[in-house]
Amino acid sequence: MRIAIDSRFLLPHLEGFGRFTKEVASRLVRQHPEVEWDLLFDRKPLPRYHFGTAQKSIVLPPQTRHWSLYEVWWRISVPFYLQRRRPSALFATYGIISNTVGKRVPTAAFIHDLGFVRYPEFIPRGWWRYYMQAMGAAVRHSRILIANSQSVLADLVELFGAEASRIKVAYNGCDTEFFRPLPDLDAEAIRRRYAGGYPYLLYVGSIHPRKNPERLLEAYDLLRRRYTEPLRLLFVGRFMFGKSETLGYLSKMKHAEEVLFHPPVQDEELRNLYNASAAVVYPSLYEGFGYPVVEALACGAAVVTSSVSSLPEVGGEAAFYADPYDPASIAEAIYRALTQSPEEKSRRAELGRAHVQQFSWERTTQVIWESLKAIAS
């Protein structure tokens, strides 16, 4: 049996889709050496993305840096591969395929989120059209759809008319042996390195309109009317769409000098940042899962997040929740997180650590493997 995996997001710096692909593909290859695993790339992969002897890395041009090149990849390159190698099944890690591919090979598609449908104004029109078409193909032609939360499952049914009986749920995972409390960490050194020595609120992830950065900035100004202890707001991530709007709002803030931006960091440093934070804030308008919430809870950090989409599933009883459309609500939730008693902080940290144990990459991979095995046979 041969199974193909869309592996294009295994890039030098891993973000959400890349991390997901790495965690799942590495386990599938190592745990099932009886299968021939074809990992499909659009550029030469790094050696660290060779996970075992059962893997064959196949490079299919072109490099997919634009939606039009995605079209070429799925409509021409992948069908040519299918004709040549004839896999028994395809795992669409990114939740998109083409009609041509969907008709030729049994497919399991993993759906990470439908934010582009809920918030089309936050994505360029060409990308929106492409995603609607390509995810529509995945919904129509995949034998099995896998959603990464109950929220995404409900969105698939509501927004694409998918049959609930064809959808499985497999939450994304979190390595809780890696993301963990570090009691011996020199938190002061981390604060000096990233926040001028001040306690900081930490935002992690791409800085994108759907992630709600402008309302977070407004909430921070509101917070500082009431919370007068030394503090900074630290964004760790890369700007995506809407950078000029975010920076334009920043220039109008009363406390703009307390807002800091830093590019993405490696996981070891990210773990340190979670551990040394005063609180982690993630007031996104929509998430399919929300890695920063899970990782921060795994590290024992106080977490403030939104009361919408999948975030209550991910945050459980440990997080503080806010209405993401109301900066005053965000400010209030942050204030509560910053001023909780030591006993309450310890209680929530324990709740968080217990809650995130359910988000296991082993469980995620098992659901995917069972799905692939079923459609391949």
In CATH terms, the fold of domain 2-173+360-376 is Rossmann fold (3.40.50)
Contacts of 2 (CB under 8 A, 6+ apart): 35, 36, 37, 38, 85, 86, 87, 88
Decide if domain 187-358 falls under CATH 3.40.50.2000: yes
Contacts of 146 (CB under 8 A, 6+ apart): 108, 109, 110, 111, 167, 168, 169, 170, 367, 368, 371
Nearest to residue 139, comparing CAs of 124, 127, 156?
A: 156
d(CA 83, CA 47): 27
Report domain extents, the chain: 2-173+360-376, 187-358
**In the 8-state DSSP scheme, what is residue 33?**
T
In tens digits, the chain (377 residues) has pLDDT values of 999 999 999 998 887 889 999 999 999 999 999 999 999 999 999 999 999 999 999 999 999 989 999 999 999 999 999 999 999 999 999 999 999 999 999 999 999 999 999 999 988 899 999 999 999 999 999 999 999 999 999 999 999 999 999 999 999 999 999 999 999 999 999 999 999 999 999 999 989 899 999 999 999 999 999 999 999 999 999 888 778 888 888 888 999 999 999 999 999 999 999 999 999 999 999 999 999 999 999 999 999 999 999 999 999 999 999 999 999 999 999 999 999 999 999 999 999 999 999 999 999 999 999 999 999 98
d(CA 288, CA 369): 21
β-strand pairing of 89-92 with 55-59: unpaired
